[in-house]
Amino acid sequence: MWRKLDKLTLFDGQRLRERLRDGSSHLLDELPAELVDARSPVSFATLPDGSDVVLARVDLGEGVFPDAVQVARERVHALVGLARFRTSSTTWKPLEGYLHAVNGWVNSIGRFRPREMDRGRPVVNPVGRALVDLTPRLWDKLAHADKELRETVGAVDWWQEAQQQQQPLSALILNVRVLEVTATRVAAPDWCAYLDTYLASSWMQAAMYTSLFQAIQDAFADEGFAALDHHDELRSLQQAIETGDASDMVNFDGVAAVEALPRLVEIYPLHTRTGRRLRQLTVRLSSPAAVADWCDEMASRWERALSRLRRSRNAIAHGGPVTRDAIATLDDFGRYLSAWSLSLLLDGSDTFTDITKPHEDFRDQLDEWRRNLRSASDARTALFADV
């Protein structure tokens, strides 16, 4: 019915209401004093109804707070926001309302407002599990980082909203907002300088991985029916590649994919689109120098895409001309960068000490990968430096 996580306790709202409604002493004994005191103004009807309601009890301890309810709300929202981001979930939404108790006595109540949302029991979804992991590590640190906390939670909220946006223009503005917050936190001159400093090499590597992944997936799909006689073999190759465990490739073994390329080239004729893409990949992976040249191509693409993102953002901010099609081409680019920057920001927020260290470590690792491409022993080692 509840889960106690240090100073935060999560209650199943529906079961808590049922216990208060029943009123039997054996059901009330373990509940917080502010809910069961005979003089308490709280009854089961005070609490929100619904099978998807989770109520959070926050113990702020001893102290003087200008707005205790707001402090508690910000800390809970911070933890839920971090959990939602880490689990790519949008199922937990804030519910207005509160009970404020001092020394076991409720002295103010904010009405819990009804809202429309999909029904489901959020306590069992990945966000609930992430909260179990995050709360013990972060709760005490949250009490000493209110300003940074508000900035980080704001960035999380903007990122979540951007992912739900159907309009690329609105998503672009929200994604750049995340980048601006992160750039400020690491003392970068501006968000474009931040991206060039910390995320350029990461994006180049990700773009190369994505090209490999998409070409291999197209080969497995065979939408043009160019490999009808080889579907059993393609399924066998797919099982070997998609069940592998290669770093940085979720459910996709990049090393196995590279090893399968020669056979896939044999299967697909040159005149097919898939055949041409596979052959282009083979050339790009023919030697460490070829991999490095491929990365240089990605560097040129990075400069062009970042320039377009800057111009588009400035055009929107200053009321200049910008086309929907131009914004749409930047959608994936902006989402990827904001997600990585926010992830690194949250890594630093886990300790609330040196916020730049996760960024510097990440940058140094990827920059080293890029520098070592030409000196790698072979193309596979160049692309996947950790194998």
pLDDT, tens digit (0-9, with 9 covering 90-100), for 35-67: 887 777 888 888 888 877 888 888 888 887 778
Q: Say if residue 206 is exposed, middle or buried (CB neighbours under 10 Å; 0-12, 13-18, 19+).
A: middle
Pairwise CA distance, residues 349 & 351, whole Å: 5
Cβ 169 vs Cβ 319: under 8 Å? no
Please check the confidence at residue 213 and state whether its pLDDT lies above 60. yes
Q: What is the mean pLDDT of residues 91-115?
A: 79
pLDDT at position 317 is 78
Please check the confidence at residue 146 and state whether its pLDDT lies above 60. no
CB atoms within 10 A of CB 377: 8
The count of residues in the chain is 387
CB atoms within 10 A of CB 376: 19
pLDDT digits (tens, 9 = 90+) for 318-348: 777 777 777 778 888 888 888 788 778 777 6
Please check the confidence at residue 387 and state whether its pLDDT lies above 70. no
pLDDT band at 120 (very low <50, low <70, confident <90, very high): very low
pLDDT at position 381 is 92
Name the nearest CA neighbour of 79 among 121, 17, 162, 142.
Answer: 142
Instruction: Answer with the residue of higher pLDDT: 263 or 353.
Output: 263
CB neighbour burial string for 218-231, b if at least 16 within 10 angstroms, e if fewer: bbbebeeebbeebe
**Residue 186 structure tokens:** 């690491």
* Bridge partners for 12 per DSSP: 54
Identify which of 30-39, 109-118, 157-166 has the greatest average pLDDT: 30-39
Mean pLDDT (the chain) is 79
Instruction: Answer with the residue of higher pLDDT: 173 or 282.
Output: 282
Q: What is the DSSP letter of 230?
A: G
